[in-house]
Amino acid sequence: MLSKESLALIDAEIAKYPAEQKQSAVMGALRIAQTEQGWLKPELIEFVAAYLEMPAIAAYEVATFYNMYDTQPVGRHKITVCTNLPCALMGANEIAEHLKQKLGIGFGETTEDGRFTLKEGECMGACGDAPMCLHNNHKMHTRLTPEKLDELLDGLE
Amino acid sequence: MSLLTPTPQVCSWTQALDKPASLETYVANGGYQALRRIVTEKVPGDDIIAELKTSALRGRGGAGFPTGLKWSFMPRAFPGDKYIVCNSDEGEPGTFKDRDILRYNPHQLIEGMAIAGYVLGARVGYNYIHGEIFEVYESFERALQEARAAGFLGDELFGTDFSFQLHAHHGYGAYICGEETALLESIEGKKGQPRFKPPFPASFGLYGKPTTINNTETLASVPWIVQHGGQAFLELGKPNNGGSKLFSVSGHVNRPGNYEVPLGTPFSELLEMAGGVRNGHKLKAVIPGGSSAPVLPGEIMMDCTMDFDSIARAGSMLGSGALIVMDETVCMVRALERLSYFYHEESCGQCTPCREGTGWMYRIIHRIEHGQGRAEDLELLNSVAGNIGGHTICALGDAAAMPVQSFLKHFGGEFAYHVEHKRCMV
C-alpha cells in the first residue's frame, strides 16, 4: 500500500524508539503515509497500524486527534491559515479573506477542480512572522501580503 | 559573540555570526566544551544540580518552576531506563522563541540535553517539536546527524563509559501536547490526553520510566551555566529570577520578533526594542506571558519589569515570555472571542468542565460580539470560568478561564457596552 521509500522512512522512525515501543512511530508513520497518498483513508490507517503491530483503532484515534492529519480527501494544495489572536492583530483575517475571494471557497472547503483546500489553523508558533500559512502541512510561508499570496498560488499547479 | 564569554545572549549569541546553526560555528565558539569537561572529568551530577540551583534558572516554558529543584526530583540512582525529554511543542499563542533556538542554535540545545542525560542518568532523550514548524524539525534532524558524526552524541562519548542517544519526535497539530504528560502520551503513540498527577513524570514518565521534561530554552541555557557557573547566570538577572530570557513580542509593534534581555528589564525598554506601538498608536493592553496569561492594561504594564515576580505582583504571569501587544484600535470582546475559540478547539475532551465549559464560554462571547448579548451574560461568563479553573486534570482549563476572567476584570466596561448597545465602542 506504501512505496518502498515510504516504508524505509517509517523504519527509520521505528528505530528511534525502544524495540517493544513500535507504536511510538505512529505519528511519523501516518505523516509519511499521508505525504505519499494525500490523505489517510481508513485502509491506509489500518495498514500503518498493522505495520506497527498496534490495534487499528489506536492508530485511528491518533489520526483523528491531531488536526494536521486529513481523514477526508483534500485538494492537491492544502493551505492552512493561522487566525489566532497574534496573527489576527497582524492581518491574518485580511489574508484569509483574500484567499477566500481568490479561490471562491471558505474554510474547510475544496475548489471544484480539486486544486485547493482552505483550512483555518491554530497557533503555528511563529507569531513574530505573521501573517502566515502552511502549504501541505510542511512548508511555512510567512509575513504574507496579498501580492505574496498571489505569487504563491500562481506557482502551484 | 561566543559561548566562552558570559554575555546576556545566553541562547541567541549565534545569531550575530555566519552560519549560526552549524556545528562548526558552535564548536569554534566554545560549544560542547562544557559537556566534554564534565563527562571526562567525571564531575558529580550533584555539583551540576547545585550550580543550577544557584543560577535560579526557572522553567522557560511557562510554569517558571526552578530547574535545579526539578532535576533533584529524578531518582538518579534508579538502575533502569530513564529519559530526558525536551518540550519544543511551542504552540502557546504569541510564543515563537524555541523555534529560533532550534533554527539558529540547535547544538546548544543538544549539548544541554546531553548534559541533562549525564546528570540525570538518562541514556536516551527525545525532543518533541511542534508539528507546524516541520521545516525546523527537519533541520533539527540534520543537526542531530552532525552531532552524531562528530562524536557528541552516541556511544561512549569522549572515550568514557557515558553514552547518550537523542532523537526528534514531531507533533502534528495539538496544542495540548505542550502539557508535559500529554506530550509523553504523544511520544508513546497515543492521543495527547494529559495524565492525572501524581505520579509525576520523575517517577512515572515516558514508558512508565523516570523522566525529566524541560522546555527548549531551559535546556539550551544549561551549557552556559555549566561553562560560567550558576552565580554568573544569577547575576545576569535578579534574585529568584536568574539569567536572561527570550521574549517573543507580537501584535501591534513596529518590529515584532524575539528579544533576549536580562530578567528584570523594564517592559518599557522591551517595547522600545520592538520599535514601540505601531503607527504611533496608544498602548491599550498586553498579554505578558502567552495567551493563557491574564491580560493587563497598558498603563499597568508600563510599570512592570519583565521577570516572574514583577508580572505576578501585577496580577498576571510571565509564562513563556510571549508578549501580545494590543493598541487602542482593538476590540477586547473580539480579541477574547478568538482566544476562547482556540481553547474550545484545543480542549482534549477528557474533563467535562473544560470540554463543555470552553464551548459554553465561546458561545457566550460570540453572541456578545455579534450583538446578541444578554444582561446576565457577564456574570454567567465569570461563573463558567470559575467553575472550570481548578477542576480539570491539566492546566488547559485554567488557561481558558484566566483570559476570560482578566478581560472582564480590566475591560468589563467594553463587554457591558456591547451587551447594552449591540455594537462595539472602539
- Quick: pLDDT tens for A95-127: 999 999 999 999 999 999 999 999 999 999 999
Q: Does B248 touch chain A (CB under 8 A)?
A: yes
Asked if B328 has any chain A CB less than 8 Å from its own CB, the reply is no
Interchain CB contact of A86 with B (< 8 Å): yes
Residue A68 in contact with partner chain B when CB distance is under 8 A? yes
Return the bridge partners of B241, or none: B238
> Could you list the residue range(s) of the whole structural domain that residue A123 is in?
77-154
Segment B305-324 shows an average pLDDT of 96
Q: Would you call A142 an interface residue with chain B, using a CB distance cutoff of 8 Å?
A: no
Q: Which of B274, B212, B235, B269 is closest to B57 using CA atoms?
A: B235
State the pairing for strand pair B165-170/B124-129.
Answer: parallel
Q: Grid coordinates in use for B8? A: 546576556
Q: Measured between CA atoms, how close is A45 to chain B, in angstroms?
A: 13
Using a pLDDT cut of 90, give the percent of chain B over it: 98
Q: How confident is the model at residue B425 (pLDDT cuts 50, 70, 90)?
A: confident
| Facing residue for A85 by CB, picked from B96, B167, B324 | B324
* Nearest chain B alpha carbon to A139: B135
Among B141, B172, B187, pick the best mutation site for testing chain A contact (most A Cβ within 10 A).
B172
Contact B287, B95 (CB under 8 A): no
Q: How far apart are CA B4 and CA B188, in angstroms?
A: 38
Question: What is the structure's pLDDT at B246?
Answer: 98
Q: Is A121 inside a domain boundary?
A: yes
Tell me: do A110 and A142 sit in the same domain. Answer: yes
What whole-number distance in Å separates Cα of residue B102 and Cα of residue A143?
Answer: 20
Distance from CA of B350 to the nearest CA of A (A): 12
Q: How far apart are CA B385 and CA B404, in angstroms?
A: 7
**A143 and A89, same structural domain?**
yes
Residue B272 has pLDDT above 90, yes or no: yes
Note whether residue A71 is domain-resident.
no
Mean pLDDT score, B168-180? 97
Residue of B nearest to A122 (CA): B342
Residues A8, A56 within the same domain: yes
Tell me, what's the pLDDT at A62?
A: 98
Strands B257-262 and B296-297 come out as: unpaired
Is it the case that residue A55 has pLDDT exceeding 90? Answer: yes
Residues of chain A positioned with their CB less than 8 A from the CB of B103: none
pLDDT at B379: 97
Which among B324, B229, B240 has a CA at the least distance from the CA of B65?
B240
Helix, coil or strand: residue B161: coil
Tell me: do A146 and A100 sit in the same domain. Answer: yes
Q: HEC profile for B197-225?
A: CCCCCCCCCHHHCCEEEEEHHHHHHHHHH
pLDDT of res. A157: 83
B380 membership: H or E segment, kind and range: helix B377-388
* Chain B stretch 12-41, residues whose beta carbon is closer than 8 A to a beta carbon of chain A: none
CA distance B188 to B385: 32
Q: What is the pLDDT of residue B211?
A: 98
Same domain, A138 and A90: yes
Pair A138, A82 in one domain: yes
**By the CB < 8 Å criterion, does B418 face chain A?**
no
Does B93 sit within 8 Å of A84, measured CB to CB?
yes
Mean pLDDT of A61-71: 98
The DSSP symbol for B176 reads: G
- The amino acid sitting at B272 is E
| CB pair distance less than 8 Å for B175 and A123 | yes
Q: Looking at residue A138, which CATH number applies to its domain?
A: 3.40.30.10
Cβ distance B236 to B243 under 8 Å? yes
What is the average per-residue pLDDT within B40-45? 98
Minimal C-alpha gap between A53 and chain B (Å)? 12
Average pLDDT of the residues in B3-20: 95
pLDDT for residue B77 is more than 90: no
Q: What angle do CA B386, B387, B390 make, to 5 degrees?
A: 85
pLDDT at B426: 82
CA distance B5 to chain A (A): 28
Beta-carbon separation of B189 and A123 below 8 A = no
Cell, residue B155: 556511544
Residue A10 lies in a domain: yes
Which residue in B32, B66, B31 sits closest to B52, CA to CA? B66
Q: How many domains does chain A have?
A: 2
**A112 shares a domain with A55:** no
Query: Which residues on chain B are in Cβ contact (under 8 Å) with A88?
Result: 335, 338
Give, rounded to a whole angstrom, the gap between the first and last alpha carbons of chain B: 46
Domain assignment present for residue A88? The answer is yes
With CA atoms as reference, the chain B residue closest to A15 would be B167
Could you read off the pLDDT of B83-111 as tens digits, one per residue? 999 999 999 999 999 999 999 999 999 99
**What percent of chain B shows pLDDT beyond 70?**
100
Among B81, B168, B346, select the one facing A122 at the smallest CB separation.
B346
**Is the ipTM value over 0.95, yes or no?**
yes
Average pLDDT for residues B125-129, to the nearest whole number? 98
Instruction: State the Rg of chain B over Cα.
Output: 22
CB contact under 8 A, A18 and B186: no
DSSP-assigned beta bridge partners for residue A78: A117
Shared-domain flag, residues A109 and A130: yes
A96 and A146 belong to one structural domain = yes
Q: Does some domain include residue A117?
A: yes
- C-alpha torsion A85→A87→A88→A93, nearest 10: -140
How close does chain A come to B294, measured CA to CA in Å? 14
Tell me, letter by letter, the H, E, C secondary structure of chain A: CCCHHHHHHHHHHHCCCCCCCHHHHHHHHHHHHHHHHCCCCHHHHHHHHHHCCCCHHHHHHHHHHCCCCCCCCCCCEEEEEECCHHHHHCCHHHHHHHHHHHHCCCCCEECCCCCEEEEEECCCCCHHHCCCEEECCCEEECCCCHHHHHHHHHCCC
Of B369, B398, B401, B366, the C-alpha closest to B385 is B401
pLDDT tens readout for residues A3-36 = 999 999 999 999 999 999 999 999 999 999 999 9
Are the beta carbons of B91 and A123 separated by less than 8 Å?
Answer: yes
- Omega into B353 within 30° of 0, i.e. cis? no
Q: What is the C-alpha separation between B270 and B259, in angstroms, rounded?
A: 8
In a domain, A72, yes or no: no
Its sign, for the CA torsion B186, B144, B68, B73, is positive
Chain A touched by B135 (CB under 8 Å): yes
Contact between residue B384 and residue B361 where contact means Cβ atoms under 8 Å apart: yes
Q: Does A34 touch chain B (CB under 8 A)?
A: no
Mean pLDDT of B187-212: 97
A89 and A147: one domain? Answer: yes
Q: Does the structure show a pLDDT above 90 at B286?
A: yes
Is the residue at A70 inside a domain? no
Nearest beta carbon to residue A86 from set B173, B189, B250: B250
Separation in Å, CA of B365 to nearest CA in chain A: 15
Say yes or no to pLDDT of B1 above 90.
Answer: no
Find, in chain A, the residue whose alpha carbon is nearest to that of B189.
A24
* 355-414 in chain B: CB under 8 A from chain A: none
Residue among B189, B207, B339 minimizing CB distance to A54: B189
Same domain membership, residue A84 and residue A22: no
Question: Which pLDDT score, from 0 to 100, does residue A134 have?
Answer: 98
Residues A146 and A123 in one domain: yes
Cell (9 digits) for B113? 540535553
- Give me the half-sphere count of Cα atoms (radius 13 Å) on the Cβ side of residue A106: 0
According to DSSP, the β-strands at A77-82 and A133-135 are antiparallel
Inter-chain touch B256–A127, beta carbons under 8 Å: yes
Q: Give which of B87, B21, B48 is closest to B233, Cα–Cα.
A: B48
- The CATH number covering residue A11 comes to 1.10.10.1590
pLDDT tens-digit map of A119-142 = 999 999 999 999 999 999 999 999
Q: Is the pTM of this model over 0.95?
A: yes
Query: Per the domain annotation, does A39 fall within a domain?
Result: yes
Contacts of A65 in chain B (CB under 8 A): 174, 191-192, 348
